[in-house]
């Protein structure tokens, strides 16, 4: 199946200092004032890393677009940087940059020579010249991009992509198939709507890439099982969802979307549903290629 394919790694032919340099522009960015829904604490850092391993196990790869021997890779919304560092090892001949609105929160023990972190916000414009990256990856930013900014943000990714470079978007949506699971995602959607964010918009990822004038666009939906019925991946996804809504408890109660009693009762039913129901979370993946002729010196 399409997600079982393993992309070919680059073959090192140059020293790191000789590789294709990034066309970096120093810009006075004002980072987005929109609050990140989940708390930024050690538990959330661990959850993001755990979620990365879950996605990699589910997809059997870190890269799904047909990327071959990239020299420049950009990870937008890189979080702890774990995906970017693994890809830096997979493509040792590439320079990888990860950007996020928050300072890098990963452990300093894992240092990768061809990975660099830059604090920046795609909604404020990326600090790079046009045509800078062979491959651009964006994953799980649905809670950070307002509904009316998706087209602009995707076009910004296309601007900094090299001609013939690939852009890949990966986003989850609302859980379904179990009453408590659906209720909690409904609350999360209401919280997101306060910031003009629509979690369900991710089903249009392929359309956004087409509006950015990309070609060879492919879109896929994978329904991730939540709970025991899904075996290992279902248990992992259940653990991830449990951690997400544990972190959202205070924001949901504080905004009066739900009450303390209602949340706790629903959260308890969700834990039971992990054993008794067949819940799922749809995961949308889309990738496309920027047209044009690559020109490198």
For the record, the structure tokens of 125 come out as 């414009």
Query: What pTM value is reported for the model?
Result: 0.85
- Domain limits of the chain? 40-289
pLDDT of residue 49: 86
Buried b (16+ CB within 10 A) or exposed e, 99-138: bbbeebebeeeeeeebbbbbebbbbebbbbeebbbbbbbb
Q: What is the pLDDT of residue 6?
A: 30
Nearest by Cα to 283 from 237, 230, 231: 237
CATH homologous superfamily of 40-289: Vaccinia Virus protein VP39 (3.40.50.150)
Beta-bridge mates of residue 100: 119
Residues of the chain with pLDDT under 70: 1-42, 105-109, 293-297
pLDDT of 41 reads 57
The SS3 call for residue 218 is: strand
Kindly write down the DSSP assignment for every residue of 222-263, as one continuous string.
EEEEESGGGHHHHHHHHHHHHHHHHHHHHHHHHTTSS-HHHH
Give me the pLDDT at residue 294, please.
57
Residue 116 CA to residue 168 CA, distance in Å, equals 20
């Amino acid at each position: 199946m399409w997600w079982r394919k393993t992309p070919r790694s680059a073959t090192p032919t140059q020293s790191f200092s000789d590789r294709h340099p990034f066309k970096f522009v120093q810009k006075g960015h004002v980072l987005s004032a929109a609050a990140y829904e989940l708390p930024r604490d050690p538990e959330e850092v661990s959850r993001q890393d755990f979620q990365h391993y879950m996605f990699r196990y589910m997809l059997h790869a870190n890269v799904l677009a047909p990327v071959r021997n990239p020299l420049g890779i950009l990870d937008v919304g890189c979080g702890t940087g774990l995906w970017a560092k693994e890809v830096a090892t997979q493509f040792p001949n590439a320079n990888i940059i990860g950007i996020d609105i928050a300072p890098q929160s990963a452990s300093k023990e894992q240092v990768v020579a061809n990975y660099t972190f830059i604090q920046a916000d795609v909604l404020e414009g990326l600090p790079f010249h046009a045509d800078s990256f062979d491959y651009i990856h964006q994953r799980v930013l649905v809670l950070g991009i307002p509904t009316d900014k998706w087209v602009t943000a995707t076009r910004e990714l296309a601007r900094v992509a090299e001609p013939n470079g690939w852009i890949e978007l990966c986003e989850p949506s609302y859980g379904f198939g179990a009453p408590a699971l659906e209720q909690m995602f409904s609350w999360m959607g209401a919280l997101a709507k306060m910031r003009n964010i629509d979690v369900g918009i991710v089903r249009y990822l392929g359309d956004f890439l087409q509006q950015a004038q990309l070609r060879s666009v492919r879109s896929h939906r994978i329904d991730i099982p939540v709970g025991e019925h899904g075996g290992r991946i279902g248990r992992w996804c259940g653990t991830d969802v449990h951690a997400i809504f544990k972190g959202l408890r205070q924001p949901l109660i504080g905004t009066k979307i739900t009450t303390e009693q209602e949340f706790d009762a629903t959260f308890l039913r969700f834990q039971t549903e992990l054993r008794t129901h067949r819940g799922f979370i749809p995961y949308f993946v889309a990738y496309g290629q920027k047209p044009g002729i690559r020109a490198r010196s």
